[in-house]
Structure 1
Amino acid sequence: MINHLQRSVLHLAPRSGLVPMVVSCCLLIGCSSEAEFTHVPISGEVTLQKKPIAAAMIRFVPVQGELGQHDSVTMITEGRFVFDDTNGPSPGEHHVVITPIEPEMNEAMQAMQEGDRDPLKSKTIPVRYQSTGQLSANVSPSANEPFVFELSKR
C-alpha cells in the first residue's frame, strides 16, 4: 500500500532528481549522530606478588574500536576496583592497563632526573602492565564475576 508521501515522490521522480534527496532525508530523520554507550557494572581485585595494590588506576580499552565501545578508567584502592552502570566498560574484549597514580609518577620523574635509568621497574606497577597487550578481560553484557588480575614483578 502506498502512502501519500510515497505517491508524491513517485509522481515527482520522472521530472526531477528529488528521489535521492527525499530518500536521504528520510534516512537521516531516524538517525542520530550520537553513539549510545552501554556501561557494564563490574568489579575486581588487583594484586602484585599476591598482595593488594594500595593505589593505582585501571583502564579497560576495547580491543576492537567499534561504535558503542569506549575506554573506562577508575581507581584501584586497597587492591579493589568498581565500575558502575554510569562509568563501566562496554561489553566485549578489552585490554587492561594498570598505571601508577600521579604521586608515584612524580617520584619516578624525580628519580630519572637524579640518574635512575628505569625508576618504575621497582615501583608498585611493573612497566609491562602499563600498556596494552599484557592483560585482557572479556566483559559480558550482564552478570560478570569479579575480575582478578594477579601481577608479578618477574
Structure 2
Amino acid sequence: MPAKWATLGAWLAVAGCLGRLAAQAAIGFDSTPYGEGNAMLLFEGGFLLAGIALPLLLVYRPGQVFPRWMLLLPGAGLGAGITAYFGAGLIQMIVEALRGERAFAGSDLPTAFFWVAVPCYLVWGLGLATATYGYYTRTRKPCKGCGR
C-alpha cells in the first residue's frame, strides 16, 4: 500500500497536468507549435500518459503489473526534469517581472498563459517525483545489511 504522501503527490501531478491542459484550452489548441495531424496526436498522447496514467500507476494497484523499471525510469526522469526545467523557468519569470519585463516576450502567447502553465508544470513535476519516490520505497528490495 502506498504512503499517503505518495498518493497525494500522484494526484498533485494529475492536477498540474490538467491545469496545464486548461491553460492551453483557454488560449486554444491551435496555438501550439505542433500544428495538426500525427505530431499533435503523438504529443497529446504522451502528455496524457505522463500526466495522468504514469502518476496514478505509481500509486495504484494496476501499476504493479508493469516491470518496475517501466515506471521508475520515466517517473524519475520526467519528475526531475520537469521540476528542474520549469522551476528554473518560474524563477526566470519572477526575476523578469521584478525588473518590469514581460515573461517570454518573444512568444505570441499571452503572458497570463505562462503564469498559469509554468507553475502547473512545476506542480506536475514535484508530484510525479514524489509519487515515483513512493513507488521506489514500496518496491525496493530490503537492504542485505540492515534488513530495511
TM-score, structure 1 as length reference: 0.23
Larger helix fraction of residues = 2
**Which structure has the greater CA radius of gyration?**
1
Larger strand fraction of residues = 1
